[in-house]
Amino acid sequence: MARIAGLLMLGALAACQSDGSNAPLVQAIALDQNQGLDQNIASLTQTVNANPNDPEVYNVRGTAYGRAGQYDAAIADFATAIRLDPSFHQAYANRALIYRQTNQPALALADYNSALQINPNYDSAYIGRGNVYRVAGRNQEALADFQRAIDLNTTDPRAYHNRGLLYQLDGQHKQAIEDFSTSISLQATAPEPYSGRGVSYLALGDEENAFTDFNAALKLDDKKAEYWTNQAVIFERRGDRPRAFRSYSRAAQLDPNYRPAKDGMARTSGPAGA
């Protein structure tokens, strides 16, 4: 059975704020749980029972457990896959993703290092390790890992998205826009690169393209408070307080604890914003 490489997108990216007041935010790529449904896991368990010495079946079921949020079961399956085949670099990288998702960065880093010792050309492991570094504030090491994945001709949009976030953080917005655009070209259905690119457009004073991108992100996912807040920022900058207030209100409805939305409502409420 052919091995299946890095199968999860488990919140690869943390939020990144641009310069300026009431700055829009870039939201992390969300976990798709459709492939972790109970019936899929039940079917995979039958396969595991029929092939108890095949590391690949444990890797695949571990991935399904991860998608379903059953992290302890996922870790156990990846550990079994590694025990059966200590050179199974994909299982190390997949387990690292679970450790990242459960806020265990030291264990994630160790597993990514193991995966890369086995296969120094495994682009997904560079992307995953880069995110561990980035969240820890080790931006130069993160940038080096994302660059390494790109140099390996990865087709994973996260490499460009993540590098774009680092460029954005460093104020290199033109480079960030290029990377977000490449990410979009590789996966046009993800809202995060549109939001990220909009942040950099706005930082460069290109309000029209920023607004287009923020609306594109909302069209792809209208359940994120950050995206409604981004849209509201443009309305507010244009002096359209009623529309800004409505968008901030929608953001606050989705996430009552989201401070940028609450602050925006306060700024745009009253007679002019009612």
The 10s digit of each residue's pLDDT in 53-63 is: 999 999 999 99
Question: Rounded to two decimals, what is the model's pTM?
Answer: 0.82
CA distance 152 to 261: 40
Looking at residue 11, the DSSP 8-state letter turns out to be: -
Residue 25: its H or E element: strand 25-26
Q: Looking at per-residue confidence, does 1 or 235 come out higher?
A: 235
Residue 46, token pair as written in the block: 């039958």
**pLDDT tens-place string over residues 135-154:** 999 999 999 999 999 999 99
Residues 6+ apart with CB under 8 A from 93: 5, 6, 111, 112, 115, 122, 124, 125, 128
Tokens of 187: 């996966």
Average pLDDT over every residue of 215-242? 97
All domains of the chain in start order, with CATH:
16-221 (1.25.40.10), 223-274 (no CATH)
Burial 228-257 (b: 16+ CB within 10 A, else e): bbbbbbbbbeeebbebbbbbbbbbbebbee
Tell me, what's the pLDDT at 213? 98
Percent of the chain at pLDDT above 90? 84
Q: What is the mean pLDDT of residues 59-80?
A: 95
